[in-house]
Amino acid sequence: MSGTMRAVDIENGKGPISALHIKDIPRPTPTDSQALVRVKAFGLNRMDLLQREGQYPVPPQAPATLGVEFSGTIESLGSSGGGAENFAVGDEVFGLAYGGAYAEYIAVSVHMLVRKPKELSWEECAGIPETWITATQALYLVANFTKGKSVLWHAAASSVSIAGIQLAKAEGASGVYATARQDEKCAFAVDKLGATAAFNTTRSNWADEVLKATDGKGVDIIIDFIGAGYFRDNLTAAARDGVIVALGLMGGAVVEGDVNIAPILMKRITYVGSTLRSRDEDYQGKLRDQLVEHALPKLRDGSFKVYVEKVLPWEKIQDAHRLLEENKTKGKVICTIS
């Protein structure tokens, strides 16, 4: 096997979409508990756009190559082999990595691999790890969701919220609500994903709509990717003893104007931030196990669906990034490597 491989590179280390190109780089060698996977497909995430521009804090153990989720076949194993996971060369897998998925090969911990179900395509599997694990983390490990609680997912057509809406509904939420900035995306959340209701944040005060829909109670859990832009209204929409989980800052990091934080005290609100990529391998491994327990069986039988907006050959990586930046997608953008 050659000591090099093709991978997506960023000219000068960071830059606009036009800086993306494919070049030859050294092929990684799997360490003790890693597998070398020949990549069939990889998923795009919003963090990739930020990393390309030099605006994302990349973990120190991550390679320079973009991409954290992929599907493919095991090419070789490190010195400990498949370990307790019992993986073998030739196994079809998908998984989560600290980086490096935009490439022909990726070296990744066997603890972050999942066996590819025959019921799912390479493209669908490449769109599962980051999004479904993030949704699982936010719902169970951070917000402590239990049956009967109500949940609000912002950015309804984002891949994480698509996963989360399905999870919450299937696990017995008393109500599953969503927000988006387009009527089409709101309709998608209700008609396709089964949300109880979805609110267009450009047409009405969504927090008031949430209170109206919950008879004034508010929602028990809010999963937020927007940040400063929704901070005030999140406090309004949260129920007593509610939990607000901050996963992103798409609406900015600085809250402007006078903001009344009394609801945090009076409602006993828990406001917590969470990340995934910076977590250690043990934590991520536990999340993988949660994915296998809560989502994988329903993904296999079709109860849960991986929504893929577009599949492109990886030679069109610039088009893929452009599509994601337009913010019109409902689901994953996936690139395939032939």
Same domain, yes or no: 170 and 243? yes
pLDDT digits (tens, 9 = 90+) for 147-206: 999 999 999 999 999 999 999 999 999 999 999 999 999 999 999 999 999 999 999 899
- Answer whether residue 327 shows pLDDT above 90: no
Average pLDDT, the chain: 94
Among 67-81, 247-261, 299-313, the range with the most confident prediction by mean pLDDT is: 299-313
Structural domain includes residue 298: no
Same domain, yes or no: 86 and 138? no
Count up the domains in the chain and report the number. 2
Residue 118 pLDDT level (bands cut at 50, 70, 90): very high
- Answer whether residue 261 shows pLDDT above 90: yes
Q: Which domain holds residue 179?
A: 132-273
When comparing pLDDT for 153 and 32, which is higher? 153
When comparing pLDDT for 277 and 44, which is higher? 44
Same domain, yes or no: 52 and 103? yes
Residue 47 pLDDT level (bands cut at 50, 70, 90): very high
Which pLDDT belongs to residue 275? 82
Q: What is the CATH number of the domain that holds 259?
A: 3.40.50.720
Structural domain includes residue 292: no
Same domain, yes or no: 24 and 85? yes
- Answer whether residue 136 shows pLDDT above 80: yes
CB 269 within 8 A of CB 238: yes
Structural domain includes residue 319: yes
- Answer whether residue 82 shows pLDDT above 70: no
Structural domain includes residue 194: yes
Which pLDDT belongs to residue 285? 81
Structural domain includes residue 299: no
Torsion of CA 53, 61, 40, 301, to 10 degrees: -100
Which pLDDT belongs to residue 90? 97
Cβ-based neighbour number of residue 236 at 10 Å = 17
Mean pLDDT of 24-52: 95
Same domain, yes or no: 118 and 192? no
Tokens 């395939």 label which residue?
336
Same domain, yes or no: 9 and 33? yes
| Amino acid, single-letter form, for residue 129 | P
Which pLDDT belongs to residue 279? 83
Mean pLDDT of 205-227: 97
pLDDT digits (tens, 9 = 90+) for 233-254: 999 999 999 999 999 888 888 9
CA atoms within 13 A on the CB side of 156: 29
Q: What is the CATH number of the domain that holds 112?
A: 3.90.180.10
Query: Which segments of the chain are extended strands (E)?
Result: 4-10, 20-26, 34-43, 69-77, 92-96, 105-109, 113-115, 150-153, 175-180, 197-200, 219-224, 238-246, 270-273, 308-313, 332-336
- As a whole number of angstroms, the distance between CA 321 and CA 57 comes to 19
pTM: 0.92
- As a whole number of angstroms, the distance between CA 189 and CA 177 comes to 9
CB 230 within 8 A of CB 256: no
When comparing pLDDT for 279 and 104, which is higher? 104
pLDDT digits (tens, 9 = 90+) for 83-106: 667 899 999 999 999 999 999 999
Last-in-domain residue among 230, 251, 273? 273
CB 143 within 8 A of CB 168: no
Last-in-domain residue among 273, 292, 315? 273
| Amino acid, single-letter form, for residue 54 | G
Which pLDDT belongs to residue 84? 62
Which pLDDT belongs to residue 83? 66
DSSP code per residue over 292-304: HHHTHHHHHHTSS
Last-in-domain residue among 232, 257, 273? 273
Structural domain includes residue 214: yes
- As a whole number of angstroms, the distance between CA 185 and CA 244 comes to 22
